[in-house]
Amino acid sequence: MDTAIEQIFKVFNHIVRELQVYFTSGILVLSNIYVIDFFYYNCSLFNTINQKQFLIPAIIITYVIGHICMAFFYILLEWRGLDKKLNKLMGFSYIIKSSVLPSIYKKDKEAYVHFIERYIVLSMMRWNFSAAFFINFLIDLSFTIFIKYYWQVVLLTTLSLVVSFIMFVLTSKTEKDYAGRIQSMENL
């Protein structure tokens, strides 16, 4: 009975992690699309999606948008190491020793989940939030420049850029803490 409950708990944790990392960032982008839809298209997209037959596809699209956010920042920042250069510029210098994670997990599973897994999820979530807000910034800026100026959209554009930067800094701090926790648990 305990193993069945443990398996259910693992599946629940995995689903919650997916929702936390991908679905919430997808909601951020989709919400911004609704704002654009409100100002530029008189809520035509919202009225279409608000119908019952489009509810499940909208949920799936929201999840996919979250993955697109992650892929976008990977291509923009991680692929060529730009994130490491930005971190160094901001004073966040760290090395994450991923190779020691399995041995830490074997030593103490509960401590691993509490001190390391939690930081992995936090880093991914904040990274994806930063990506979502940066995508929102690009979308809003494009509409403001090429279609029509609305002060509300300009305000949203500015806030999106600021929040994207703040979330990027918070991600860097979280990853630095995460690297420190790996190092401290490695020596136990």
Give the pLDDT means over successive 10-residue stretches in the chain (188 positions).
70 80 93 91 78 83 94 91 88 83 83 82 93 96 92 95 96 89 79
At residue 92, the pLDDT reads 85
DSSP letters, 157-172, are HHHHHHHHHHHHHHHH
Alpha helices in 91-150 (DSSP H): 101-107, 109-111, 118-146
At residue 13, the pLDDT reads 75
Cα–Cα distances in Å, from 106 out to 57, 61, 67, 100, 188?
A: 40, 37, 30, 10, 12
**Among candidate residues 169, 168, 166, 159, the one with its CA nearest the CA of residue 136:** 159
pTM for the model stands at 0.87
Token digits of residue 15: 């689903």
The C-alpha atoms of residue 136 and residue 133 are separated, in whole angstroms, by 5
At residue 27, the pLDDT reads 94
The C-alpha atoms of residue 113 and residue 120 are separated, in whole angstroms, by 10
**Among candidate residues 120, 110, 13, 118, the one with its CA nearest the CA of residue 5:** 13
At residue 188, the pLDDT reads 66
At residue 2, the pLDDT reads 63
At residue 46, the pLDDT reads 77
